[in-house]
Structure 1
Amino acid sequence: MHTAVVWFRRDFRLHDHTALAQALHWAKERQGKLLFFFHFDPYFSNERTYHHEYFFQTVEQFRQTLRQQYGIHVHILHGDVDDVFVRLIRCTRMNAIFFNKDEVGRGKERDDYVQALLQKHGVDVYAYDDAHMHEAFDVLKADGTPYKVYTPYYRAWRKRPKRFPLSIDMDLLCAHMLHITPLSEDDERAFTHWLSKCTKRWERTSEQDALIALQHFIETALPHYDKKRDIPSVAGTSRLSPHLKTGTISIRTVFHAVVQQFGNSYDEAVETYIKELAWRDFYHMIYAHFPFTKTEAFIEKYRHLPWSRDDERFQAWKEGKTGFPIVDAGMRQLKEEGWLHNRVRMIVASFLTKDYLIDWRMGEQYFQHMLIDYDEASNIGGWQWAASVGTDAVPYFRVFNPIEQSKKFDPDGMYIRTYVPELAFFPSPHIHEPWKSNFNINYPAPTVDHRLQRQRAIALFQMSELV
């Protein structure tokens, strides 16, 4: 009997799943069987973060959905790569493995290693690009080198044909599933035990939840996306980033649903949203071509800036106790929900790097732990943009004023009141600068003078220009 394993990683869906579609075609041609598998990697399970808890809860939701709706079991093995894949070969006698590969970071290193290991044992390996509209080497300049500026990249990206979502014949899939007892009941119990210790529970983590969220966004927020996406107090964004991270929905499904709803004559709102999808591909491309950006600034002359590592200020930033309401609201939302509005991400990142002058890498690492939608390439790109050290970044002399940002994007203070209860009943005219009022409140005074820190930030960069 021909047997193939489908290795699920961050693609917990059945619709438009490239590796699954190809595996089913393989099984149909050979009258073979398929087995679903997830690697419970100690590299992630040993560190308990919001990012990991949300991810593993999504895995469990996916397993429950497949078991309840289709009688399909997703097998779990726990251990390091060598141990797990040797056991997988021994237990399944598989002929082939199908998965959607990573192009960047530790994921790429793991995939390359696993491919060599499996091929050494005579297993055919089929790995596919699936996570982006265009992968890291799809959209390049005419000379074959990567773009370093977003606008020309987007023009080229926009012209490229877009793949359509793939459908899966569920009756055919069920007919080709291999039904056996769990490969390791001990490993599956270990996974269940890990989940039982989660500090927070998230709802709406399934593929169906993602599809509902997409339709809701198209019907309610997309028509006004260009005007309301920067206002954190309203539901003006798609909130699909956690689903794209875990793969409960594909980027192709999102793109084509938006396009089909409005046709090819994009208005400003649709074009603005599609540009955001392209930013995701752009940062992925940058990270794949310039992997050093995980720990080093993209701009060489800014790699040795004398950033601060002030622990007291860093703690105030993490706890949302900087004395600047919009910054504190954002950091408290992050701590409470594991998610943060994109405009506020820019504000808090700018504050940490330009007002506190703290190393952008400290902020990037903190977001890695806290964000349920953490995407390595996008997060690195976003932090380097805010710190003015990345590709196509905000100029160093453009320093976000947290007070003006607050007044512009949260004029009535609705967002601030939601996450800073000390200011919940504070009158609107003073909520952006509570220290200027005569009210007696239990809220910290500003921990820095923004005007002074802005001057220091600019001087920091100007010194590097002279070196």
Structure 2
Amino acid sequence: MEKITLFWFRRDLRLEDNTGLFYALQQEKNVLPLFIFDRNILDKLEDKADARVEFIHSQLEEIKAQLEKKGGSLLIRYGKPDDIYRELLQEYEIQAVYTNRDYEPYAKERDAEIAQILKENGSELLSFKDQVIFEPGEILNGSGEFYKVFTPFSKSWLEKYNSTKIQTLDDPNWKNLYSSKYLPTIALKEMGFEKTSVEIPPKVADEDIIRHYDKTRNFPAQNGTTRLGIHLRFGTISVRKLAKVAANLNETYLNELIWREFYMMILAYSPQVVDRAFKPAYDQIPWRNNTEEFQAWCDGKTGYPIVDAGMRELNATGYMHNRVRMVVASFLTKHLLIDWRWGEAYFAKKLLDYDLSANNGGWQWAAGTGTDAQPYFRVFNPDSQTEKFDKDLKYIKKWIPELETSKYPKPIVDHKSARVRAIDTYKQALNP
């Protein structure tokens, strides 16, 4: 059997400034990059025309072509990681597996299992920090505990960032790639998935947008955000390079990257937030969970234009503007008193940039159940949000062409009475 070292791609689908790949190529010979289409994840996806799977597939084809130009290739497998590793250990003498760390509960469990399989076979799993600037455990308060509030976390994060020279690793030793004979690819169809017509935003950190981000980010009709969420999610861009651009151009944009790491840290230290409120008292809220109202929300037919425009944008494109995300999440949890987990699960199905920690954090923030969340008595008024952020109705009319006709539905709830009902329901549950 041939001696090789594996580099295992996961949330880091790029060759440049990839920490684990860089160190594998510096320290080992015969490095064979690997990607596993993980059935533990894919089998749960109901919609087989999933643009995210198609996106991963297309990125891997690019990476494979780039590696072949450098004299190597990319091994792509489809199955459950534990089964795949047992098979690979029969095919190769694996010296070590290099990879970049992931902080989600499933990922940590999976990696512990793979590390054990490798150990039993005389090999090891070596992991590196890559998808964050500072990982969970690096930013702690004076008592050595994780921060529960964003503002002091962000201050500590910035202090550390400004006093640390963040390195990028761009020139790996490509001659240490394993020069494999032709390795076949796996077609989407072989895994039961289909191509889609969904457009993926370009992988470009537009400096002009970043420079003006603080002034444009709240207006959904403007091209005022970078749309890099999917690229950060799957690591097709380097967060270190993006943070460097943001630190030079716009602190509000940098702050968004800090929020991303805050929520990753919360999930790492409090994995129970996946299906429970961060603040346990909020698990007592008696949600109404009206299925017809939930369906109207999903379909963008609530009679509240800013909410409906957001949901239609999401359903059509896999994207929703961040300001609108807050409004639709507040509407579902407060106006309709529908469990935040229902909304979180719907976003998880639809969002191109779905990331468990950020999605969970955002929904719990809107519902008032999360860490450093908006207070329960703050209920977004969809009309005043429209007046502030889409006064000319450009965004709304783009997604609701029938707005001023009899075809557009009447509001399914009255704002004033829904607001009072939400506040009373929360108050009674929290102060029984």
Matches within 5 A, 1:28-47: 32-47=29-44
Pairing partner for 2:409 from 432, 444, 456: 444
Cα 1:240–1:359 change in 2 (3 A) is: same
Give the letter for the 2:194 counterpart: K
Letter in 2 for 1:460: T
Stretches of structure 2 that go unaligned for 5 or more consecutive residues are: none
Contact preservation (8 Å) 1:51, 1:371: no
Q: State which drifts further: 103-112 or 49-58.
A: 49-58
CA offsets, 1:232-289, max 9 Å, x none? 00011121111000100121110112334x4xxxxxxx12111111111111111111
Specify the alignment match of 1:433 in structure 2: none
Counterpart contact for 1:8–1:38, Cα < 8 Å: yes
CA distance 1:238–1:51, shift in 2 (3 Å): farther
The structure-2 alpha-carbon separation of the partners of 1:463 and 1:253, relative to structure 1 and needing over 3 Å to count, comes to same
What's the CA shift string for 1:415-453, capped at 9, x where partnerless? 001111212xx5xxxxxxxxxxxxx43100000011001
The alpha carbon displacement at 1:364 in A equals: 0.5
Distance 1:52 1:121 in 2: 38
CA drift at 1:66: 3.0
**Residue 110 of structure 1: how far off its partner (Å):** 0.7
Which stretch has the larger CA shift, 74-83 or 52-61?
52-61
Separation (CA, whole Å) in 1 of partners of 2:186 and 2:265 = 38
Is 1:460 the counterpart of 2:422? The answer is no
Cα distance change of structure 1 residues 338 and 50 upon mapping to structure 2, 3 Å threshold = farther
Q: Cα–Cα, structure 1 residues 255 and 378, in superposed 2: closer, same or farther, change >3 Å?
A: same
Q: 1:427-438 maps to which residues of 2 (within 5 A)?
A: none
Match of 1:415 among 379, 395, 398: 395
Give SS of 1:3's match.
Answer: strand
Aligned residues: 426
Instruction: Please name the residue that 1:309 is paired with.
Output: 289
Q: Indicate which of 274, 277, 286 corresponds to 1:297.
A: 277
- In the alignment, structure 1 residue 381 sits paired with structure 2 residue 376: no
Partner amino acid, structure 1, of 2:422:
A
Alpha-carbon RMSD? 2.0
Distance 2:49 2:106 in 1: 15
CA offsets 1:174-231 (integer angstroms, 9 cap, x no match): 553331343xx5xx44645347623444445xxxx42xx20x2x12x22321121100
Kindly indicate whether the alpha-carbon contact (under 8 Å) linking 1:163 and 1:252 is maintained by their aligned counterparts in 2. Answer: no
Matched, 1:286 2:245: no
Counterpart of 2:229, as a letter, is S
* Equivalent position amino acid for 2:10 in 1: R
Aligned pairs (5 A) from 1:118-133: 118-133=118-133
Identity across matched positions, percent: 38
Does the alignment pair 1:228 with 2:208?
no
> What runs of 5+ residues in structure 1 fail to find an aligned partner?
263-269, 427-439
CA distance in 2, matches of 1:294, 1:152: 24
Distance in 1, matches of 2:193 and 2:38, equals 17
Q: Which residue of 2 aligns with 1:8?
A: 9
SS at match of 1:5: strand
Q: Helix, strand or coil for the counterpart of 2:284?
A: coil
Give the structure-2-normalised TM-score. 0.94
Could you tell me whether the CA contact under 8 Å between 2:9 and 2:34 is conserved in 1?
yes
Which of 236, 240, 247 is equivalent to 1:259? 247
Q: Which runs of 4+ in 1 moved over 6 A?
A: none
CA displacement 1:76-95 (0-9 Å, x = unmatched): 22222321111112222211
Cα 1:49–1:137 change in 2 (3 A) is farther
Give 2:308's aligned amino acid. D
Answer 1 or 2: which has greater helix percent.
1
Residue identity in the other structure for 1:403: D
